[in-house]
Amino acid sequence: MIFGRSERGRSLVEPVTLKILVAGGFGVGKTTLVGAVSEIRPLRTEELLTEAGRPVDDTTGVEAKHTTTVAMDFGRITVREGLVLYLFGTPGQERFWFMWDELSEGALAAVVLADTRRLEDCFAAVDYFERRSIPFLVGINCFDGAARYPADAVRRALDLDGDVPLVLCDARDRESVKEVLVRVVQHAMGYTADRRRAVTT
């Protein structure tokens, strides 16, 4: 008998689980991203937008959006054998930002989704993770009909540090999202290693 393997060849070793946040502005595609890649039926906490919310929910540029996340989205993906990512999508509206502190507990890293039509909507997320020293990357969600800009121009507009990855993606496409997740895990591992070296030198 080979210890650590079942008779059917499946690993009995508990997988490494990592927590990744998916943040960004209202209507940027966080729920879509989690749903596109999750291997389980994603947990969603969406509610219909109401007339009462119109004064505080800016739907400019996303007029077709009729629902909003009020707590979080949750999904799971096995990146490779022994490595599982838990994805937590944060609510986008300012009045739900108090949830971010709870959701960020124990997070390895974050994906900040951005829409070039409303780039300022992701400033708060970028600032949040910078202030808390949580490694993150920025994913430009390439919406149909949205203008395309050079990565350097977007980086300057967001005032990103040079070591923060910036990638183009399609939050609807599973393979595109998987590439983003692999990239953010790699970035987080490098970030953590750099900090350990800084502490020991």
Query: Distance between CA 46 and CA 69 in Å, rounded?
Result: 4
The two structure tokens encoding residue 110: 């974050």
pLDDT digits (tens, 9 = 90+) for 155-178: 999 999 999 999 999 999 999 999
Q: What pLDDT does 62 receive? A: 52
Q: What pLDDT does 4 receive? A: 42
In this structure, what DSSP letter does residue 43 have? B
Q: Given a cut of 80, is residue 95 above it in pLDDT?
A: no
The domain ranges of the chain are 16-200
Q: Which fold has domain 16-200?
A: Rossmann fold (3.40.50)
Q: Given a cut of 90, is residue 2 above it in pLDDT?
A: no
Q: What pLDDT does 14 receive? A: 85
* Mean of all residue pLDDT scores within the chain: 83
Max avg pLDDT among 74-83, 87-96, 144-153, 171-180: 171-180
Q: What pLDDT does 7 receive? A: 45
Contact between residue 111 and residue 181 where contact means Cβ atoms under 8 Å apart? yes
Could you tell me the pTM of the whole model? Answer: 0.79
Q: Given a cut of 60, is residue 50 above it in pLDDT?
A: no
Across 167-190, average pLDDT = 96
Question: How many CA atoms does the CB half-sphere of 25 hold within 13 Å?
Answer: 20
pLDDT digits (tens, 9 = 90+) for 106-121: 999 999 999 999 999 9
Contact between residue 144 and residue 56 where contact means Cβ atoms under 8 Å apart? no
Q: Given a cut of 50, is residue 6 above it in pLDDT?
A: no
